[in-house]
Every structure is written in C-alpha cells, then in structure tokens.
Amino acid sequence: MEDYKHRVQYYETDKMSITHHSNYIRWMEEARGYFLSNIGWPYDRMEKEGIVSPVTAVECKYRRSTTFPDEISIRVYIQSFNGIRLCVGYEMKNADEQVVCTGHTEHCFLDENGKIVRMSKEYPEFCEAIAEYIEE
C-alpha cells in the first residue's frame, strides 16, 4: 500500500519553527484513517456497522525534527491483531528518507453499548483485510 503523505503546516510548528510533538499523534490518526479506507474499512463504515475503535495506548519516538513545509511519508503496518486487540505501527520519513518518528497505537473494538466486539467472529472480512499487512 502507498504511504500516507502529510505536509507540515505552519500552524503545526512552535516558536522555534519545529513541529510541535503533539502533531505526530494526529498524523498517526490521519495515516490510520487512510490505511483503513484503503483496505475497505473506513471509519464511517465501522460506525455504520455499530463499531467504535478507541485508542487504548499510544507510543511515539521522535528521531529528527520536522519543519514547515516538509513532506512526511507515513508507512502504516499492523504489528499484531488477535481479533480483539489491534496494534498499528507507524514509520515517518522526511523527503531524504530519514526516519523522523516511529510509533504505535493499540485499539480495541466496541459496540454502541461499550461491549467488546470480537472482530474475528463477527467481522471475519475485516480480519482478512488486516491480515495482509501484519508484520511481526
């Protein structure tokens, strides 16, 4: 799958002209949304199915600074998925192919009442779509 591209916006930088650290987490969400759309499971489809997927953990490791108007390429991959818990990995690179940030997010799946959804039993087609991108 093609990497997600994000251009650093001026408003995402701080007084030192460096991207504020909180934005990398937003970029993970943008890239994850792009990834899910490309495998046929965009957030709006999940919501129509009555599924929400909250973030239960996030980790972000900063390697190099980025500044306006750098273009950042974000590779999304699946670190693990057991049908209930999903761990998504991210690798962000600048135009020189230098890694600027790595991270991961963990997610569960809940129904509209807040109960765990066992995706492997209730939505096997989601599991099949995810399986192709698992990198252990």
| Burial class of residue 118 in the structure, from the number of CB atoms within 10 Å of its CB (0-12 exposed, 13-18 middle, 19+ buried) | exposed
Question: Is residue 44 among the annotated active site residues?
Answer: no
| Burial class of residue 54 in the structure, from the number of CB atoms within 10 Å of its CB (0-12 exposed, 13-18 middle, 19+ buried) | exposed
Q: Which residue of the set 14, 70, 96, 111 is catalytic?
A: 14
Q: Which residues are designated catalytic?
A: 14
